[in-house]
Each structure stands twice: as structure tokens, then as C-alpha cells.
Amino acid sequence: MLGSLAIVVPLTACSPSADPAPRATDDPAAVGVVPSAASGRSATPLLSADLSVSSAGWSTDFSRHEVPLNEFLSGGPGKDGIPAIDGPAFQAIQSTDWLEDQEPLIALGIGDEWRAYPIQILIWHEIVNDTVAGVPVAVTFCPLCHTGIVFARTVDGQVLDLGVSGNLRHSDLVMFDRQTESWWQQATGRGIVGDFSGTELEFLPSQLISWAQFKDLHPDGVVLSRDTGYDRNYGVNPYAGYDRADADPFLLGDETLIDGRLNPKVRIVGVVINDDEVAYPLPDLAQVGVVNDVVGGETIVVLWRPGTASGLDEATVAGGDLVGSAVVFSRVAPDGTMLEFEPAGDGDMRDIETGSIWDLDGTAVDGTMAGTQLEPIANDQPFWFAWAIFRPATTIWQP
């Protein structure tokens, strides 16, 4: 198992002035009531046996929860100890000289606006609260699970501001909203404790691709600046070696939850449509290039392309092995034509019906369908152990 020093120290280093959260048994509120004056609610009874992390400083309604309160573990820094970015600044591609071509990033496009959120920044902040084309979004990344997910952060007409709770559940980031201090599971986007318990955030389609691929696809796009207001070692990977196959998941709590159908650290492309859950192992995708499939009654295509580095491998985010990445689209063209695809070389794909060539952005770049854009499908590219814990009924695609 990976030594605790290798992970706990970098986690704490995310907020040098933040002390680890006290144990629940050291917290006076844990054996009496949780103060809730800030939320206007009555005090909530809470026994120390119920919550396995500190409740100090929280106005969360702990009486409302859909998961056992003893499943939470402290990740080291306390509430906001890993600071979300609330006022993101962006810069043009042409003025960005600190990213290497193979570096991974989350690409988000809404309307005609495309933005890149480098993993080298997300690894230190885990959440970026942003507004893209008028849509309030949260771009999130949990290094321990390699879950990179974008959510719409408007719930029932209310725009939420998300932060890092400092707690983990099954190794995954537990977020909180600053409006009600409800706790949210990042891997599923579901409220699990507090006023929003049982509420789900909307997943937005995004891409985990390389910097070179983003520049090629979206030359007019912008990239999240290192001017975050925080002093961090951007470019350094504080989780070096974590994605090794022989490195156990960190702070998982219950290792019996690990699904042995795949190696825990295998990266997969996870798709959920109409409650149908499918995992596509990245190594298998690399062998075939293109997968035509049906998930939840909808026809999709998964396209793999080489060139993206693992951000959790070596001492720098850019220095990891090239593991590639994948994108997912509907196979139904805007005119209603059902398409089937095959590899076309260079990480592109060709539809069998017209012979048109389609790129990593789901756009036909050559042939009779040139200019046509496929509808993107929301997906995630986490480690297998994390996907399987939160979606145990998932099916594994096999070539």
C-alpha cells in the first residue's frame, strides 16, 4: 500500500496553514448538538457514534442524510482547506507557455465558448466555480479517484457555490454548497447529507483531452490561468505514483468494496444513460480505437485517441505515461441518420454510411457530412474502483 506520508503530506500542503480536522470524539458538538444559528434551523441532535468526522464549524442539517454518517473520513485539510477557485481568470492560448502538449485537461464547451481547465491546477483546488456562456458550472476533479466531472450548479432556480469539505467517502471528494452546507458526493453529483440530500446535480458533457488536442480543436478557446490568488506548485504532481496498478486506493475505508472484475487502478470511460451503466476500460479502447454501442436505449460511439499523459504518474503532471483519452457522442446525426463508425487513423473515425471523417470533437471534417456535429454524451474517466463502488451494477464492455 502507498505510504501515508506520500499522500497525506501533499494533501495537507494544499493549505499549509490548515490543521487537520479534529476527531469527532474531540468535538464537543459531536456529543451534544450541532449549532445551526447560521442556517436558521433548530439545533440537530448528533451522537458521536453517528459521524466519524468533526462537525465543528458546520451548519449542516445532519439529521437529513441518505448514507451512513460513519462512512466519512477526513482527508487531512478541513473545510475549505483545499480552496475552490471562485473567481477564475482565463488567458488566450497564444499567451500560454506553461503547459506541455501532452498535459491532461478538462475541456468544456457551451455554445461557442470553449474553456480548458488544466489538471495541474485542478489537482490543487479540485473545484472551479465558473459561468460559461451564462451557465453557472462547477468543474470538479478528485485526484484519488481520477473523477473529472462538470456539473450545472443551479438547483431549483438557486445557484450554488461549491467548496471542498475536507472529507472523503469511499476515497472520493465530498463537496459542500455554501448556501445550505449540504454535502455532495462528487462521483455521482448527489446530495448525501443536509437540505439537499437526495438531490442530483446535472452532469454536463466535457472532455478529458490533452493540451495539444485542445489547441487544435479550439484555437479561439481560453485556458484557466495560474493567477488563482493562491501560491501553489502548479505543474508538480503531489500524488506521484498513485496511479500505479500496485498502489492501493487511498483512504478508501472499506477495501471489501473493491470490485475485482478489473484492476482497481484501471482507467475506464464511464457512461450512464437511463440508469444503464457501462464501463469501457481504456486499455481495451486503445486496442480497437472506436466502439459502437447501445446504452440505455441510445446509440453511442466511443472514440479513443493517443497523446494524453497520466497526470498522477510522475513527479510532474506532464511527465506521466501517455495513456490516451476518449470522447463519447450520440451516433444519431442531427438529420436523424443513424451512423456506425470505424477507425480512420490518427485518432479520427469514419462513418460507414457516407465515408465522412470525424474528429475528436465529434465534427465531420471531410466527406458529404462535413460540418455536421454529433451530440456529446456526458461521461467520466475515473479509476475502476471508484466507478464500481458508486455504480456496482455497471456492465463492463468487452471487445
Residue-range definition of the domain harbouring residue 369: 259-396
pLDDT-derived band at 248 (thresholds 50, 70, 90) equals confident
Model confidence band, residue 11 (pLDDT cutoffs 50, 70, 90): very low
Answer yes or no: is 354 within a domain: yes
User: In this structure, is residue 60 part of a structural domain?
Assistant: no
Give the C-alpha separation, 100 to 46, whole Å.
Answer: 49
For residue 374, the model assigns a pLDDT of 98
Can you tell me the distance from the alpha carbon of 285 to that of 362, in angstroms, rounded to the nearest whole number? 17
- Give residue-wise pLDDT tens across range 249-265: 999 988 899 999 999 99
Percent of the chain with pLDDT over 90: 85
Which pLDDT value is given to residue 247?
Answer: 82
- Other CB atoms within a 10 A radius of the CB of residue 190 amount to 17
Average pLDDT over residues 53-70: 95
Residue 309: strand pairing partners: 322
| Whether 82 contacts 142, CB under 8 Å | no
As a whole number of angstroms, the distance between CA 127 and CA 124 comes to 9
Q: What is the mean pLDDT of the chain?
A: 89
Pairing of strands 222-224, 113-118: parallel
- Candidates 355, 370, 364, 277; CA nearest to 329 is 364
Residue 310 lies in a domain: yes
Alpha helices (H) along the chain: 4-13, 119-125, 211-217, 282-288, 384-390
Tell me the per-residue pLDDT of 268-283, one tens digit each, with 9 for 90 and over.
999 999 999 999 999 9
| All residues at 6 or more sequence positions from 346 whose CB lies less than 8 Å from its CB, including other chains | none
Is residue 364 a contact partner of residue 370, using CB atoms and an 8 Å limit? yes
Rounded mean pLDDT, 333-344: 97
Residue 246 lies in a domain: no
Least confident interval from 28-32, 144-148, 236-240:
28-32
Q: Which of 29-33, 231-235, 350-354 has the weakest average pLDDT? A: 29-33
- Report which of residues 28 and 94 the model is more confident about: 94
Q: Are the C-beta atoms of 178 and 160 separated by less than 8 Å?
A: yes
pLDDT at position 33, please? 29
Per-residue model confidence (pLDDT) at position 283 = 97
**33-34/325-330 β-pairing:** unpaired
What average pLDDT does range 291-302 have in this prediction?
98
CA dist., res. 56 & res. 5, Å (int): 26
Q: 385 phi and psi, to 5 degrees?
A: -60, -40
d(C-alpha 58, C-alpha 165), whole Å: 10
Q: Give the model's pLDDT for residue 331.
A: 98
Which of residues 300 and 399 earns the better pLDDT score?
Answer: 300
Would you say residue 301 lies in a domain?
yes
Choice between 353 and 6, residue whose per-residue pLDDT is larger? 353
Interatomic CA distance for residues 379 and 399, integer angstroms: 19
**Which uninterrupted H or E stretch holds 97?**
none
Determine the 3-state secondary structure of 363 from DSSP. strand
Question: 307 is written with which cell numbers?
Answer: 497523446
Burial class (CB in 10 A: 0-12, 13-18, 19+), 41: middle
Q: φ and ψ at 253, to 5 degrees?
A: 90, -60
Residue 228 placed within a domain: no
347 three-class SS: coil
Q: What letter does residue 248 receive in the DSSP assignment?
A: P
Instruction: Give the pLDDT confidence score for residue 246 in this predicted structure.
Output: 81
- Summarize pLDDT for 183-198 with one digit per residue, the tens: 999 999 999 999 999 9
In this structure, what C-alpha cell is assigned to residue 86?
Answer: 471562485
35 has a pLDDT exceeding 60? no
Could you tell me if 386 and 172 are in contact, meaning their C-beta atoms sit under 8 angstroms apart? Answer: yes
- Grid cell 487544435 is found at 216
Query: How high is the pLDDT of residue 327?
Result: 98
Q: What is the pTM of this model?
A: 0.89
Say if residue 297 is exposed, middle or buried (CB neighbours under 10 Å; 0-12, 13-18, 19+). exposed
CATH number of the domain within which 283 lies: 2.102.10
Q: Is residue 343 part of a domain?
A: yes
Q: Is the pLDDT of residue 24 over 50?
A: no
105 domain-assigned? no
Give the H or E element holding residue 11: helix 4-13
User: What integer pLDDT is reported at residue 253 of this predicted model?
Assistant: 83
Count of domains forming the chain: 1
